Every structure is written in structure tokens, then in C-alpha cells.
Structure 1
């Protein structure tokens, strides 16, 4: 086995991916169903278009998100989760359970 293969840790790689800002927000929004770019941006809130585009490209390249071009004029693209992306629902559900149990809502 090559040295780089021996050093590979799937947990480390997954944590690096999931800790990227907006990645879990994108996954969570797409769990509700396919969305166009602007619809996805509104669902997430606060992400700038360049960052969203870069994150989506990365998630598509990893096989977690599928990009489907619906029209070229005007440009319309839909994003949806692949099976691998949908499997992250369990991760988000676990975070939700932990947060509801251990984090208090901010006081207004």
C-alpha cells in the first residue's frame, strides 16, 4: 500500500468536506427537494453567489449533488441530491437532535 493510501482517513476527509462554510446548509436545503440556483440561495440565506456556485461545483464533483440544465435561454439549472447526498440526512438529523438537547435558543 502506498504511503498516501495508508495515511487516508475517511472521517478526516468527511469532516473537512462538511465543515466547509455553507456545505451542510446546501445539503439541508436540497433535502426538501430540487432547487434552482436562486431558489437555493434564498433557502439558505446569506451566501454570496460566487461562494454558492463554488460549493455546488465541489459537491457535484464529489457526486453528492446533481446539476441538471433545464434551459439555456434564459439559463435555468436545477440542483438535487444524489443518493450519496441524501444519505447525509442522517448526519443532519443527528446534529438537529444534539442541538435541540444541548443548545439553548438565544434570548431576544
Structure 2
């Protein structure tokens, strides 16, 4: 497996860094079912701090995974949806789901 060398761009390293950010895969998974407003997305993800959600969404928009659409300014209404690149992550989420179902057991309380 290739390692990232200082100064050299490694797309795998960059992708892992992006997807390992807390809440990022949860946000992507929630948006796989379709566009959502900020509060709807926060409820779908569950437990994410609004400031963190805002920060993650801003980063995902910046890298081209999520698209932000302002629907109104008063009251402020914004909808988020996956771009084509974001929708391609469905295979990644599905692979994680398959692995989890095969290897992770329900914790005993």
C-alpha cells in the first residue's frame, strides 16, 4: 500500500482524511436518501452539534461532495444534496454496511 510522502499528493490518503472526519460519513449516508434542509439533516444524523454540522457541510461543499442551495433568505432556508461525486460514495457506505453486518455484533448491555 502506498504511503503519502511529504509534498506529494496521494488521492487515497486525501480521501481517507476527508471521510474519517467525525460525522462526515453520517452526513453522506443521510443525504443518500435525498436533499435535506439543515435541521432535517441534523435530525437524520442525530447527536451532531450544529456548529460541527455547519463546518462539515461547508467542507463537503468546498471539496465538491455536497451542493448547497439557498431557497430563501428570510427566513433563511438552505437545502443540501449530494453531487455526483457524493452519490458515488454510496458504494463506500454499502461496503461499510456489509462489513459491519458480517463482523460487528450487537453489544451486550
- TM category, shorter: over 0.9
Count of residues in Structure 1 that have an aligned counterpart in Structure 2: 104
**Distance in 2, Cα, partners of 1:69 & 1:106:** 41
TM-score of the aligned structures, taking structure 2 as reference length: 0.92
- The aligned counterpart of 2:37 is 36
- The aligned counterpart of 2:3 is none
Structure 1 outlier segments of 4+, above 4 Å: none
Unmatched 5+ residue regions in structure 1? none
- The aligned counterpart of 1:95 is 96
> 1:106 deviation in Å?
1.5
* Greater helix content: 1
- The aligned counterpart of 1:84 is 85
- The aligned counterpart of 1:12 is 13
> 1:102 deviation in Å?
0.4
**Distance in 1, Cα, partners of 2:33 & 2:106:** 24
- The aligned counterpart of 2:49 is 48
**Distance in 1, Cα, partners of 2:11 & 2:20:** 14
Unmatched 5+ residue regions in structure 2? 1-5
> 1:105 deviation in Å?
1.0
